[in-house]
Amino acid sequence: MNHQSFINRERMIQHVEDLFRVSSESREEREIAVKLKEELENLGAEVFVDDADKAVNGNSGNVIAYVKGNKPDAPPFLLSAHMDTVVPGKGVRPIRNGKVLKTSGDTVLGGDDKSGLSIIMEVLRTLKEKDLPYGDLEIAFTVCEEIGLLGAKALDPKRLKSKDGLVLDSEEACILTTKGPAAVRMDVDVIGLESHAGVAPEKGVSAIKIAAEAISKMKLGRIDKETTANIGVIQGGAATNIIPNHVHLKGEARSLEPAKLKVQTAHMKKCFEDAAKKFFVKTKGKKITGKVKLDIDHDYTRLNLSKNSQVVKLGIEAARELGYSLKEGATGGGSDANVYNLWKIRSANLGTGMRDIHTVKEWLDLDDFERSANLVAQMILLHAVH
Q: Which residues participate in catalysis according to the annotation?
A: 84, 145
Per-residue exposure over 193-231, b if at least 16 CB sit within 10 Å of its own CB, e if not? bbbeeeeeeeebbbbbbbbebbbeebeeeebeebbbbeb
Dihedral of the CA atoms 332, 333, 337, 339 (nearest 10)? 110
3-state secondary structure of 247: strand
Rounded least distance, CB 167 to Zn ion, Å: 9
Q: How far is CA 350 from the centre of its chain?
A: 13
Of residues 244 through 263, those in contact with Zn ion by CB under 5 A are none
Are 172 and 120 in contact by the 8 Å Cβ rule? The answer is: no
Q: Which is nearer to Zn ion, 151 or 290 (CB)?
A: 151
Q: Which is nearer to Zn ion, 36 or 322 (CB)?
A: 36
Stretch that binds Zn ion, among 111-119, 176-184, 197-205, 367-375 (CB under 5 A): 111-119
Mention every residue, 6+ apart, whose C-beta is less than 8 A from residue 310: 163, 164, 346, 383, 386
Q: Which is nearer to Zn ion, 56 or 207 (CB)?
A: 56
Beta bridge partners of 329: 177
Stretch that binds Zn ion, among 150-158, 163-171, 205-213, 280-288 (CB under 5 A): 163-171
Rounded least distance, CB 28 to Zn ion, Å: 16
Going residue by residue from 21 to 60, which x/- string records binding to Zn ion, judged by CB under 5 A? ----------------------------------------
Are 47 and 137 in contact by the 8 Å Cβ rule? The answer is: no
3-state secondary structure of 120: helix
Rounded least distance, CB 144 to Zn ion, Å: 11
Stretch that binds Zn ion, among 123-131, 166-174, 250-258, 307-315 (CB under 5 A): 166-174
Q: Which is nearer to Zn ion, 17 or 169 (CB)?
A: 169
Q: With CB under 5 A as the rule, give the number of residues binding Zn ion.
A: 3
- Of the candidate residues 84, 112, 171, 299, the single one contacting Zn ion (CB under 5 A): 112
Q: Which is nearer to Zn ion, 76 or 334 (CB)?
A: 334
Stretch that binds Zn ion, among 63-71, 106-114, 211-219, 309-317 (CB under 5 A): 106-114
Q: Which helix (H) or strand (E) holds 303?
A: strand 303-304
- Supply the angle between the helices 366-385 and 9-20 in degrees, to the nearest 10: 110
Can residue 113 be called a binding residue for Zn ion (CB under 5 A)? yes
Q: Which is nearer to Zn ion, 112 or 122 (CB)?
A: 112
| Backbone phi and psi for residue 318, each to the nearest 5 degrees, phi listed first | -60, -45
Rule CB under 5 A: which residues touch Zn ion? Answer: 112-113, 169
